[in-house]
Amino acid sequence: MSRYFTNLSFLLFTCLVISQSKPIDLNPKDSVVYEQSYGISVGIDLSRIITSSLDDNYNGFEIVADYRLKPDLYVAAELGNEEKTKQEDLYNFTTSGSYLKVGVNKNNYANWYGEHNLIYLGGRIAFSTFENTLNNYQYFNTNRYWNENDFSNGSDVPENFSGLSATWLEAVFGTKVELFSNLYMGASIRLGLIIAQKEDERFPNLWIPGFNKVTFDSNFGVGYNYSISYFLPLYKKKNKVKKKIEKSETNKEQL
């Protein structure tokens, strides 16, 4: 029986030793303060410039900008101008106009010490004003009795529809990587949802600058951009991420 007592007291003694060792702080706090840069970043979309030079039927550019508001939150905007001529089966049209997108990006990428990269989700409200020109068209007719070889000609005289506009919401998924100091390369894909548009009764909006192709009977559209931008640091501020880590450590101790 005494052997049990000996064992028990031994066990309790060990527990005592363990609990006593805890309050001793063997890891003193790191006194080095890591400050992060805040500022504005301005750039251009490369894809639109490259497409402009390769595609005769497209002309466009886009300026991108963002401002770091909080450690993970950026106010972002895109301003652009596009012109696109499209040949469909029986008609040819040109759309040209400008657009502005304003919104926020939320960085979800946990950077290591010294890194300034982003993988973000964002939202935009976008507005575009543009005009359509119907360059030429033929009439669709499955019956070929009167025109055996081709569809009959509607018009070859360009017809202009101006004063058109569209407003849409955009969900953005993108990334931004620091190539060199303060020089960033970015890419994003966008899903747009048209909430309002002004179109002509005779010829609807089939393509909207900044929004891309408008699918018939659907308000959704997709787009993308590849940007290169320069980050201009305005001020530095200590990041609050460290606090979080301390908190999680204290949580562990309580357990």
Partner 1 sequence: MKRLQIGLLFLIAIIAIASCEKDDICVEGDTPLLVIEFYNVTDTSALKSVPSLRVVGVGQSVTVNTVSDRTSLNTISIPLKTEADETSFILINNSASADDGSETGNVDTINFSYKRLEDFLSRGCGFVVNYDELNADLTTDDTNWIQDIEIINSQVTNADSTHVKIFH
Using CB under 8 A as the criterion, which residues of the chain lie in contact with partner 1 when the complex forms? 88-91, 108, 110, 119, 121, 137-147, 152-154, 171, 173, 189, 191, 202-204, 206, 215-218, 220-222
Residue 221 dihedral angles phi and psi, to the nearest 5°: -150, 160
- Structure tokens belonging to residue 65: 């900008």
Nearer to partner 1, 16 or 110 (CB): 110
The region that residue 160 occupies, defined by phi over 0 for left and psi between -120 and 50 for alpha, beta otherwise, is: beta
Q: Which is nearer to partner 1, 60 or 223 (CB)?
A: 223
Least distance from C-beta 117 to partner 1, angstroms? 13
Nearer to partner 1, 53 or 218 (CB): 218
Least distance to partner 1 from the beta carbon of 11, Å?
A: 41
Sheet holding 35-45, edge to edge: 91-107, 73-87, 58-70, 35-45, 220-238, 183-198, 159-180
Nearer to partner 1, 99 or 207 (CB): 207
Read off the tokens for 117: 């990269």
CA–CA separation, 104 and 99 (whole Å): 17
| Identity of the residue numbered 180 | F
Asked if residues 96 and 82 have their Cβ atoms less than 8 Å apart, the reply is yes
Joined tokens for residue 10: 């031994």
List 104's β-bridge partners, or say none.
75, 123
Q: Least separation, in Å, of the C-beta of 215 and partner 1?
A: 6
Residue 20 CB, shortest distance to partner 1, in Å, is: 38
Q: Which is nearer to partner 1, 7 or 141 (CB)?
A: 141
| Residue whose CB is less far from partner 1, 81 or 161 | 161
CB of 110 to partner 1, least distance (A): 8
Question: From the CB of 53, what's the least distance to partner 1, in Å?
Answer: 25
Q: Are 210 and 82 in contact (CB under 8 A)?
A: yes
